[in-house]
Amino acid sequence: PFPVQPMKAIGGMAIAHPESISQGMIWGSGIFTAAFWLAMGLTGAVSWLHKITPKPVVRGIMLGLGLSFVLEGVKMMGAQPVVAVIAATGTFFLLSREKIPAMLVLLAFGLIVALISNPPLWDELARISARFRTPEISLGRITWQDLVAGTLILGLPQAPLTLGNAIIGTAEENNHLFPDRPAKVKTIAVDHGIMNLVSAALGGIPLCHGAGGMAGHVRFGARTGGALVILGLMILALGLFFSESVAVLFKIFPPSILGVILFFAGLELASIARDIGSRRSDVSIMIVTAGLAMWNMGAAYLAGLILHYGVRKEILKF
């Protein structure tokens, strides 16, 4: 169940600095991202990087990303702590019973909470009607300045995050969870390239297969790519028939409930690190990498490699 989601660093910059990040720059970053990962995959460079990346570094990246999800989830749960505690307790209970769809129950509970805490939402939902609308593709002009700025300001800073989280991290997570269906980093890198070529051609934002997204899908029951097909069809239906009501529909998901979902996705991702073993140096490298990964994925990856090979060459010692 490989996720498809916006690239975190690029999306975050675009949202935080709308006055300076233009549509052309986002488009340019998508073109760079597509070309970069196609080249990394087809030349075998990404396979070489995966080969020299030791297990403690990979597990550290996954642990750090998982913990950052947990912390962000707890922060969101603080909006309605009582609701969050009830939802989290119920989710723990439901996840131990495979026949009950925990996600559907959690979302239904969120809808009830939203309607009780925001009574006018009843009327807003009642006014929703389905109306078919074809997508309007709006491609603006892109200049060389946009391409260069998008590459330097958005694309390059995103690349280390994508390598650690969406290429190596997702491959390792998939192969840990589904050893009968292994995925190669080369295949994932090439897929990133093709996916972003299509997105850029349509004027879309850069996309990735993040390890956190896979953790969320798996934690709440997804086991095959069919889950993403269903999700994709639902999103298509939402866009084609309810595009004018998206803002209202989003109100049925209280932040506290979304925080619970993020919390459990983080737990799923972080729990993969439990197979690191008891060797002191491996555990130490994993912890350092995890701590840095919560701040900067690229710095975490580089520091983890330096520590690992420093210990291996007996230059460093834990």
216-265 pLDDT tens trace = 999 888 999 999 999 999 999 998 999 888 889 889 999 999 999 999 99
Q: Where are the domains of the chain?
A: 5-312
Q: Does an H or E element contain 66, and which?
A: helix 55-77
Please give the DSSP secondary-structure letter assigned to residue 274. Answer: G
Distance CA 3, CA 170 (A): 10
Give the closest residue to 316 by CA, choosing from 205, 58, 306, 35.
Answer: 306
Tens digits of residue pLDDT in 193-205: 999 999 988 888 9
Please count the other Cβ atoms lying within 10 Å of the Cβ belonging to residue 133. Answer: 11
Tokens standing for 102?
């925990």
Q: What is the identity of the amino acid at 271? A: S
Average pLDDT over residues 101-111: 92
Strands (E), 73-115: none
* Digit-coded pLDDT (tens) for 122-141: 999 988 888 898 877 766 67
**Angle value at C-alpha 297, between 295 and 301, nearest 5 degrees:** 125
